[in-house]
Amino acid sequence: MKYDLVVCGVGGQGVLTMAGVIDHAIHAAGLFLKQSEVHGMAQRGGAVSAFVRISDQAVASDLIAQGSASMVLSVEPMEALRYSQQLHPEGWIVTDITPMVNVANYPALDALYQVLFSVPRLVALDASRLAARAGSVKVQNIVVLGAAAMHLPFEAKLIEQQLERLFHRKGERIVKANINAFRMGDAASRFAAALVAAGVAARVVACVVTRIAFTPEPVGEKLVAAWCKRLLRPDALALAERLFASEDDVAPDAVPAD
């Protein structure tokens, strides 16, 4: 088994925390890993990235070849696209859509989303909004981590255990916020994967998933089936773009009738 992961974002977004939690979960799963140096730490707002290579055998190199990453996991949409060349054709991009405008020539959001939402295997979510619902805007990165969980080569509960270990000294409220954030991200990812598997178009999936107010509980099978049926209709793209443009929260059980 071999699994190559790119973790990226902007300084101050908790990329190091994500990588650290993943590393400890890998050890707990009895797997091997090798991680590259993390770049950009010295500058808050600068690009930060880490390559994490996971295997059931000893890993010789920390370098990920272009076109071989199983996942690009990002807390910032432009950073996700920056590393898209590392992605395997069957790989996933998991990213927050909230921009961190840290350069003068940051692209227009419409153009950015046009490219990002064309990725065939994408979990795009409004992690900042879900983090606030979880109890703290500071857990944005944990929402994104949760959205990656189902695609990682070890059980999600190992990540939850590491979150509890990491935050238990900060008290029950902080632990709960992080666990809720993680489970919201996981619910979003499972919902997106179900839509992709049903044949819903990539842009439709991205527009809809970013607007659903996920809870820490998975969306029920009947509701998933209802969303799939609705989003396979000919007018699905128009509906999805309307939902995305409105920026309003959509309850998981509020499947649009038209």
Any idea which residue has 């090798």 for tokens? 34
Burial group, residue 8, by CB count within 10 angstroms (0-12, 13-18, 19+): buried
Q: What is the mean pLDDT of residues 50-76?
A: 90
Mean pLDDT of the chain: 92
| Alpha carbon distance 16, 8 (integer Å) | 9
| Alpha carbon distance 118, 11 (integer Å) | 26
Superfamily of domain 2-246: Pyruvate-ferredoxin oxidoreductase, PFOR, domain III (3.40.920.10)
| Alpha carbon distance 159, 41 (integer Å) | 23
Is residue 214 within 8 Å of 188, Cβ to Cβ?
A: yes
End-to-end CA distance of the chain: 45
Beta partners for 102?
none
Cut 0.85: pTM above it: yes
Give the pLDDT confidence of 189-218 residue by residue, as tens digits.
999 999 999 999 999 999 999 999 999 999
Give the pLDDT confidence of 96-138 residue by residue, as tens digits.
999 988 788 899 999 999 999 999 999 999 999 999 999 888 9
Please give the DSSP secondary-structure letter assigned to residue 180. H
What one-character-per-residue DSSP string does 17-48 give? Answer: HHHHHHHHHHHHTT-EEEEPPPB-TTSTTSEE
| Alpha carbon distance 62, 81 (integer Å) | 21
Q: What pLDDT does 123 receive?
A: 95
| Alpha carbon distance 104, 50 (integer Å) | 24
Give the pLDDT confidence of 73-83 residue by residue, as tens digits.
999 999 999 99
| Alpha carbon distance 204, 169 (integer Å) | 41
Confidence band of 63 (pLDDT split at 50, 70, 90): confident
Closest CA to 152 of 31, 50, 37: 31
